[in-house]
Structure 1
Amino acid sequence: MNIKNNPDRRAARVIGLAYSTCCYLAFLFTCLYLIGFVGSVVVPKNINDGPLVAWPTAVLIDGVLIILFGVQHSLMARKGFKRWLAAFIPAPAERSTYVLLSSLVLGVMFWLWQPIPDTFWEVETVWAKALLAGLFWLGWSIVLLATFLISHFELFGLKQAIDRWRNTPQQAPIFRTPLLYKLVRHPLYLGFLIAFWATPHMTVGHLVFALGMSVYLFIGARFEERDLVVLFGERYRRYQSEVGMVVPRLNRPRR
C-alpha cells in the first residue's frame, strides 16, 4: 500500500475515508427507509401516515418537497457546481457530499410528507395483489443491480475515498454497457419507476409522489444525458440512437 509518511496527509486520508463511510451508511439507511416509506412496510412513518390537512395544502407541501429533492439532486450533479464545491472540499469527497445531502433532503421529505389517504385505485384480487407486490420488489432489485453493474461504491462516493486513502490515482470514466444497460440507457430509473408505481393500493398521496418523482426522473435523465454526450461524444450519441432511455426498444437499429 503506497501511503506517504507525511502524518498530516495520512490523517487527511483517514478522515476522508471515515467521512465517506459515514455518508455511505447514511445513504444505505435512507434507501432502506425509502423502500419502507413507499411500500408502507416496517418504517414508523410511511407515505400514507401522518396527521391530515386539507388536500390542496397537502399537495402544495408534497410538491415543494419533490421540487426540493429534484433541484438539489440535479444542481449538485452539474459540472459547474462540482467545480465550485471543489474550492471547499477535496475532490474525492465531492460524491460523498452529494450522497449525504441527497439523503438529508430525502429525510426531510419523509418527515414533512403530508398524506392524502383517499383511494385512487385498489386491487383486491389475490393474484393481482401478489403480482404488484412482486413488481414492487423487482423494481428495487433492478435499482440495486443497476448500481453494481456500473460501480456501486464509486456511484455513492466510497471508492473515491478508498483510492485516496491508498494513494491510487483516479481513473478516467470508461464507457460500458453491461447487461441491463444493453436494454435501456437508464435501468436505475426504470427500477425506480416500477417501484414507485407498483402498488395494489394507490392513494392520492402515493399518486402525487409517483407522478412527481417520475417527472423528475425524466428531467434528470435529460440533464445527465447532456453531460454524458459531452463526456463520451459520438459514442454516446450512437448509444442513444440504438437503446431506449428507460423503455427497451422493440425495433433496434441494425449496426
Structure 2
Amino acid sequence: MFKVNSKRQAASQIRSLRLIAFLYGLVAYAMFLFTIVYAVGFVSGIIVPKTIDTGPDTSVIDALSTNVLLMALFVIQHTGMARNWFKNWWTRYVPNCIERSTYVVMASLCLMLLFWQWRPLAAVVWQVDDPDIFVMIATLSFIGWALVFTSTFLIDHFELFGLRQVYANLNGRGRPAPQFRTPLYYKYVRHPLYLGFIIAFWAAPVMTIGHLLFAAVTTTYIFVGILFEERDLLQLFGEQYGQYKRQVGMLIPWRKPS
C-alpha cells in the first residue's frame, strides 16, 4: 500500500511539474508577443509610448555609449545562449523542456531593457518629404515585419518560441528529431526572417542618427549570427544543408538549378 501511494505521489508531482513548466512556457510566449509588438512600434515610431527617437535628452557620448551597451547585452545573450556548448552546460540546471522558453524570457528582458533605456539621437540623416514616397517606404517597413512573422510560422513558430516543447512535455511526449525543410520563402532565400528584419529596420522615411545606429548594429549582428547559425545547421544536417547553401541565396532571393 505504501508503495502504491508513493507511486501516486510521484506521478502527481511529475504532473504538477509538467503543468508548471507549461505555464512558464505560456508566460515566456506572452513576453515574446509583447516584446515583438512593442519592437514594431519602437522602430516605426508609432503607438508605443517610447520610440527609437523619443526619450530623455543626453549628450551624444552618453547616448552612444548607453545604446551600444544595450545592444551589446542583447547580442551577447542572444548569441551565447543559442550555442550548443552553452545549451549543453545550461541544461544541467534547467530542464530541456523549458530551455527554449528560458532563452525567450532572457531575450525579451534584454529587449525590454533596451526599449526602456534607449537614448535618442534625433539629428536627421535623411527625410522623405513626398507624402506618396513616405507612405511607400513606411509600407515597405511593415512588409518587412510581415516577412518576419510569416517566416517563423513556416519553420515552426511554436517550437521557435518554446511552446511546442512545454506542450509535448505536458503530455509526456519527447521532442521529435529536427527535419530539414524549405517551405515557401526558404526555397528562394536561406534566411527570410533576417531579411525581414533588415527591411523593417532600414525602410525608414525619416532616418535619425539613433535609428541609423540601431539599424547598422543590428544588421551587422544579423550577418554574424548567420555565420554561427549556418555552422550549427551544417553540423546538424550535413551535406543536405551544404547543398542547400550552395543553391539558395543567403539574403538576396535567388536559386541555382540543382
| TM-aligned CA deviation for residue 90 of structure 1 | 0.8
Match of 2:230 among 200, 211, 225: 225
| TM-aligned CA deviation for residue 210 of structure 1 | 0.4
| TM-aligned CA deviation for residue 254 of structure 1 | 2.2
Counterpart check, 1:254 vs 2:239: no
| Cα separation, 1, equivalents of 2:47 and 2:257 | 47
2:120 corresponding residue in structure 1? 115
Q: For 1:248, give the aligned amino acid.
A: P
**Deviation per residue, 1:63-119 (Å, 9 max, x gap):** 111111111100000001101111111101000000000000001101111100000
| TM-aligned CA deviation for residue 56 of structure 1 | 2.4
Secondary structure in structure 2 of the residue aligned to 1:70:
helix
Figure out how many residues of one structure are paired with residues of the other and give that number.
250
| TM-aligned CA deviation for residue 164 of structure 1 | 0.4
| TM-aligned CA deviation for residue 196 of structure 1 | 0.5
| Cα separation, 1, equivalents of 2:138 and 2:195 | 16
| Cα separation, 2, equivalents of 1:210 and 1:25 | 26
| TM-aligned CA deviation for residue 130 of structure 1 | 1.1
| TM-aligned CA deviation for residue 177 of structure 1 | 0.1
Secondary structure in structure 1 of the residue aligned to 2:126:
strand
**Deviation per residue, 1:157-202 (Å, 9 max, x gap):** 0000000001112100000000000111111000000000111100
Counterpart check, 1:188 vs 2:193: yes
Moved more, 198-207 or 4-13: 4-13
Correspondence list, 1:142-161, <5 A? 142-161=147-166
**Deviation per residue, 1:23-60 (Å, 9 max, x gap):** 00001001111111001111111001111112122112
Secondary structure in structure 2 of the residue aligned to 1:202:
strand
Q: Larger Rg: 1 or 2?
A: 2
Match of 1:19 among 21, 24, 41: 24
Secondary structure in structure 2 of the residue aligned to 1:121:
strand
Aligned sequence identity (%): 46
Q: Which runs of 5+ in 1 are unaligned?
A: none
Query: What is the RMSD of the two structures over their aligned residues, measured on CA atoms?
Result: 1.1
Q: TM-score, normalised by structure 2?
A: 0.95
| Cα separation, 2, equivalents of 1:27 and 1:158 | 11
Q: TM-score, normalised by structure 1?
A: 0.96
Runs of 4+ with >2 A deviation: none
